[in-house]
Amino acid sequence: MSDHQPQKMYEGKAKILYSTADPEVLLTYFKDDATAFNAQKKGTISGKGEVNCTIASVLLKWLETKGIPTHFIDQPKPDEMLVKAVTILPVEVVVRNIAAGSLCKQTGLEQGTVLPNPLVEFFLKDDDLGDPLLTRDRLALLNIVTPEQVQELTNYALKINALMQEFFTSCDITLVDFKIEFGTDKNGVILLADEISPDTCRLWDNTITDANARVMDKDRFRKDLGNVEDAYQAVQTRVLDQAKALMA
Ligand code: TMP
């Protein structure tokens, strides 16, 4: 019997990390708390912790079977995920298939414009600085990831995008864009970490054409579109159905 008392290692806006008896394993607790615009907007999305943990668990497990190394170990409870301990790289990697969000704001591209190729962008993971967009030269200047790591992250991001597009298309959902984070394990190996969920993706319902009604992700919370819980639950239902179909 282990006498380990879980210690809170880190609390973020949407998750809390706890130690376990094994120093190489951490427990992530997914909260219902929701924030947007660098925490200027705060609220809760009832049931979000369980839904996001479940969706992220299914997707990470599936990506692992497709050759993407991830931090996922197990989902012992609906809102808890056991993960491999990693050092998170301080960059947020965004992949876009369709123009939305900050890309439209910063470039004037019209929302909904289909991009000729997926766009991979790096943002600095620093709330105090407002997570600024980084150029390749700024990445090199800051020296937070090596040029080789930038290439490896870009390759993973594009592969993950192709796989996730395949998965969500089967759910009748368009993967507009998403944000992922990576970490390195004790051997320096890069693993996909954090979560993939309606908090971190833009997901549009293919069965609906109305630009607001089709939104199934955190933009419902960001833009006060209503029915946030229903949208998250609907994503979970479709993701679980697709996972079942894949295993059948
Ligand atoms: P953006 O258009 O606001 O740059 O967001 C791009 C994608 O990244 C979108 O799917 C939402 C996700 N995202 C996060 O997961 N966390 C964040 O802090 C931000 C700003 C975006």
Q: In terms of domains, do 92 and 106 share one? A: yes
pLDDT digits (tens, 9 = 90+) for 157-203: 999 999 999 999 999 999 999 999 999 999 999 999 999 999 999 99
Q: In terms of domains, do 62 and 73 share one? A: yes
pLDDT digits (tens, 9 = 90+) for 227-241: 999 999 999 999 999
Average pLDDT of the segment spanning 32-51: 97
Query: Measured in Å, how far apart are the chain's first and last C-alpha atoms?
Result: 37
Structure tokens given for 122: 């790096």
Of 66, 161, 167, nearest to 119 by C-alpha is: 161
Say if 107 falls within a structural domain.
yes
> With bands split at pLDDT 50, 70 and 90, how would you rate the model's confidence at 3?
confident
2 pLDDT more than 70:
no
Q: 248: CA distance to ligand 1 center in Å?
A: 33
Say if 235 falls within a structural domain.
no
> With bands split at pLDDT 50, 70 and 90, how would you rate the model's confidence at 247?
confident
Model-level pTM greater than 0.85? yes
Q: 200: CA distance to ligand 1 center in Å?
A: 6
Per-residue pLDDT at 248 = 82
The CATH number of residue 220's host domain is 3.30.470.20
Q: 11: CA distance to ligand 1 center in Å?
A: 19
Sign of the dihedral through C-alpha 23, 64, 221, 125:
positive
Average pLDDT of the segment spanning 131-156: 96
Residue 38 CA, closest ligand 1 atom number: 18
Ligand 1 binding pocket (C-beta < 6 A) is 94, 100-103, 131, 177-179, 200-202
Q: 92: CA distance to ligand 1 center in Å?
A: 9
1 pLDDT more than 60:
no
Q: In terms of domains, do 132 and 151 share one? A: yes
SS (H, E, C) 41-90: EEEECCCHHHHHHHHHHHHHHHHHHCCCCECEEEEEECCEEEEECCEECC
Pocket test for ligand 1, best of 200, 201, 219 (most atoms within 8 A of CB): 200
Query: Domain span at residue 210?
Result: 87-227
Mean pLDDT, all residues of the chain? 97
Residue 218 CA, closest ligand 1 atom number: 11
Q: 37: CA distance to ligand 1 center in Å?
A: 9
Q: In terms of domains, do 94 and 215 share one? A: yes
Residue 181 in 3-state DSSP? strand
Domain closes at, from 50, 68, 84: 84
Q: In terms of domains, do 105 and 223 share one? A: yes
Count how many domains the chain has. Answer: 2
Q: In terms of domains, do 14 and 110 share one? A: no
